[in-house]
Chain A
C-alpha cells in the first residue's frame, strides 16, 4: 500500500464508468464499470447478446451511452463518431470486415489519408511503400498492390489490423479476430498482439474460444445480460469457472461421439478433383458416422464440401451416394438425393436476413412437402417449424421475428433446423459452431450426436481442434488440396493432426 502511494499513479488507459445503453425494448448494457490498463490484453467474454459488442461500439464511438462515462488516461472522453475515437487513438477491428473488396491492400489501409502530390493526386508508389512498411512491422507477407477480394479471409483480417495500427492507436478493439482463422494463423496473430502489448498498447479482446484466453489475456471480464459479472486474472480461473460466469448455469459435458456402429457407406468419393482447388480426394462416409475434416484455411476443405453438394462441378473423379455414381448439377439435385449442407458463412450463403424465422426454416422443405398445386399448406409448415424451433431451443420472440434480430448461435440453429426438416441422410457441416456462444455450441454438438446416433452420416469440417477431436469417429486431414491422412478416432491426436495438416 505504501509503495503505491509513493510512486505517482499513472491513470488507466481507459476507464468505463457506470455505462448503460438500451435499444428500443432491450437493455443492452446496465451500469457497466471496468478498466483497461496500458500494455495489457483485456478479454471480454459472454454469450451472444450479453452486451460485449455494444460496449465495444461505445468505446469505438459507434454509439453513445445513455448514461455513464468513459475516461481515457484520466480525462473524460466524449465520442460522437468512430472518427473521433480514431483521433483519440482508439481503433476497432470489426467482426464483419469493413474493407473494400475491389481496392488494393495499400488503398484499403490508407483510405482517406492517401499521400498526395501537388496536384492532389495520389502518390501511388509512396502509398504502396508505406503499406509495405506497416505490413513488415506486422511480419505479414502480403503484396500491397494485391486486390483485396483475391485474398483469403485471414489475409484480409491482417489488412484490417494493419489499418487499425496505421492510426497509431493506443487502444485496439478486436471482436472475434480468430473466428475465421486456422490455428497457425491465429498463432501468428497472437504474436502480433503480444508485440503490440509490449509496446504499451491496450487491447480489448472479444472471443468465444476459451483456450485463447489462457494463452493471451492478462485480465478477463465477463458480461451476462448486459451486466458486468466480474473481472479476474486468467490464472485464478478454470475453464469451468469462466463458463459458469458466462451462462450462469452448469453446462453438460461436451457431447462425445457415440462409438461408431459402422453402417453402410452413405457417401463416397473416388479420385475427386476440382482443378486448382483440390485433387484426387477419396473417402467413404458411413451412415451413423461423423467424419471430421481438418486442415488449414486454403486446404480445399470448403471447396470439397461445395463439390459434394453440387455447387461446384468436379473436373475429375466420381461421387457415389448409397453405392450408385451420381452427377450433381445443382444443390437441388443433391437435396433430392438426401444431402444437406450447412455452409461456412451464415450471412453470405445461409440466412435470408430480411425474412422471418419461419421463412428461413421452411424454404428448403417446401421443395418437397407442404405444397399442393403450388399452394403452401401454411398451417402444416408452421406446425413443423414450431416443433423444430422448440426441439432446437431457438431463442426467438416468435416465428415471425426477422432472423437478423437473432444472435449468431440462434441463427445457426435455425439454419440447422432448415436441413433437419428435410431429414437428410447425409449432412455436410462446414464450421457448424463458428461465432456461436458456448451454450448454443454445446447444444449444437449434442444435436449432431443425436442425429448420428439415429443413423445420419455427417461430414464435419472444423478449424477448432477440440471440436474435431471430441466429435469425430474418424478424421480426414487435408493439406493444400490433398488428403494427407485419414485417422481413426483412437489415433487422432492434436499433434498428429497438425502434423498432417501443416507438413
Chain B
C-alpha cells in the first residue's frame, strides 16, 4: 500500500517540477541555440566570432529596440485577445508630427526668420500624444462598436499612413535639432526599450490593471460578470499600445534625424511576431513581457546573424517567417498536450 502510494505520487511530483519552470525557459533555449549556431557558422564560414564582438551586439539590440517598444504594447493587446495592426503606421505619423516640431530653426530661417528652436520636450510630448490618440481611436472603435480588433486597427493602419503622407504632402522632414537627435543616438533606444519592458512587466504582474487585462483575455464574458468594466479597460490597453507606438515613432525619427511617411513599414508585424514567439497566445489570456523581450532578441539575432554571415536579406525574411510559424505551432502543441493531460 505504501509502495503503491509512493508510485502514484512520484510522477506528479516530477510533473510539478516541470510546471514550475517559467514558460520562457523554452524560448530562452531557442535564443541561446540560435546564437550558438551563428557562432559556430561564423567560425566555419567567415572565420570570426559572432558573439565576441561588443559592437555587433550593441547594434543588434539597437536595431530591435524600436520593435521591442512596440511589442511591449502589442503584447498587452494580444493578452486581451485582440490585435493591433496600426503600430507601424502610427510610428510614421508620430515621426512626422514630432519631427516637424523638432525642426531646427536654421532649416527655415530664410522663410521664417523669427522662428526659434522649440524645447525638445515639445516634439516628444506631441509624438506620444499623437500615438496615444491613435490608440484611443482603436480602443473606442472596438469597445463601442464591437467590431473585431483586426478590422478596427486595419482601418486606423491605413488612415494613419495616409495622414502621415498628407501632413507634409509626402515630403520628408529633415534638419532636426541636436537635442532631439540625441534621443536616438547611442544606447538611448536600448535603455528606453528595457525601461518600458520593465515598467509593463511590473504593471502586468503586480497591478490591478494587469490582473484585469489577463482576465478579459481569458474570458471576456466572465470578466464582465465579475465586475470589470471591459470596454473602458480595452480603451486603456489600446491607448497604451498607441502611446508606445508613438514612443517608437519618436525614437525612429530621432535616430534617422528626419521624419518620413514611409517609416515603420511592417513594424506591426515584427512586433506581433516578437510577442507570439515570446509565448503570447492570439486567443488571449496568455503572454508575458519577459517572453516578448526574448522574442524581440530572437528577431535581432536572426537579422544580425544573417548579415554577419553575408547572406542575402531575402533569405532573412524567409527564415523569419518560418520562425514565426514554428513558434505558433509549438504553442498549439503545448496547449493540446495540456488539454489531453486533464
Contact = CB atoms under 8 A, between A and B. Distances in A.
Nearest to A403: B218
Interface string A314-341: 0000000000000000111011000001
B227 A349 contact: no
A233 interface: no
A376 interface: yes
A331 B12 contact: no
Interface in B288-312: none
Nearest to B219: A352
B113 interface: no
B229 interface: yes
B215 A363 contact: yes
A262 interface: no
Interface stretch (A115-123, A206-214, A246-254, A364-372): A364-372
A23 B285 CA distance: 25
Nearest to B202: A375
Contacts of B226: 331, 363-364, 418
Given A331-B224, A352-B219, A354-B286, A371 B208 contact: yes
A289 interface: no
Given A24-B11, A376-B206, A352 B222 contact: yes
Contacts of B225: 309, 311, 331, 341, 343, 349-350
A112 interface: no
Contact of B341 (A24, A352, A378): A24
Interface in A234-283: none
B222 A350 contact: yes
Contact of B15 (A24, A334, A353): A24
B228 interface: yes
Interface residues of A, number: 38
A405 B223 CA distance: 20
A141 interface: no
A26 interface: yes
Nearest to B229: A332
A219 interface: no
A353 B15 CA distance: 20
Given A24-B15, A311-B224, A355-B218, A376 B208 contact: yes
A351 interface: yes
A322 to B, nearest CB: 19
B109 interface: no
A311 B16 CA distance: 39
Nearest to B10: A25
A409 to B, nearest CB: 15
A96 interface: no
B219 A25 contact: no
Given A23-B342, A25-B11, A352-B285, A363 B224 contact: no
B315 interface: no
Given A24-B15, A27-B8, A364 B209 contact: no
Contacts of B214: 352, 355, 359
Interface in A373-425: 374-376, 378, 397, 404-405, 418
Most buried by A among B16, B206, B214, B218: B218
Contact of B215 (A330, A355, A404): A355
B221 A23 contact: no
Contacts of A26: 12
A342 to B, nearest CB: 9
A69 interface: no
B47 interface: no
A334 B226 CA distance: 10
Contacts of B342: 23, 404-405
A376 B211 contact: yes
Contacts of A27: 8
A405 B342 CA distance: 6
15 contacts: A24-B15, A24-B341, A331-B224, A331-B225, A348-B221, A352-B215, A352-B285, A353-B218, A355-B218, A363-B212, A366-B208, A374-B207, A378-B206, A404-B342, A405-B342
Given A309-B225, A374-B209, 16 more contacts: A24-B11, A25-B16, A330-B229, A332-B229, A334-B227, A348-B221, A355-B218, A359-B215, A363-B211, A366-B208, A366-B212, A371-B208, A375-B208, A376-B206, A378-B206, A404-B342
Closest 9 CB pairs of A and B: A25-B12, A352-B218, A335-B227, A354-B285, A349-B221, A332-B227, A25-B15, A364-B226, A374-B207
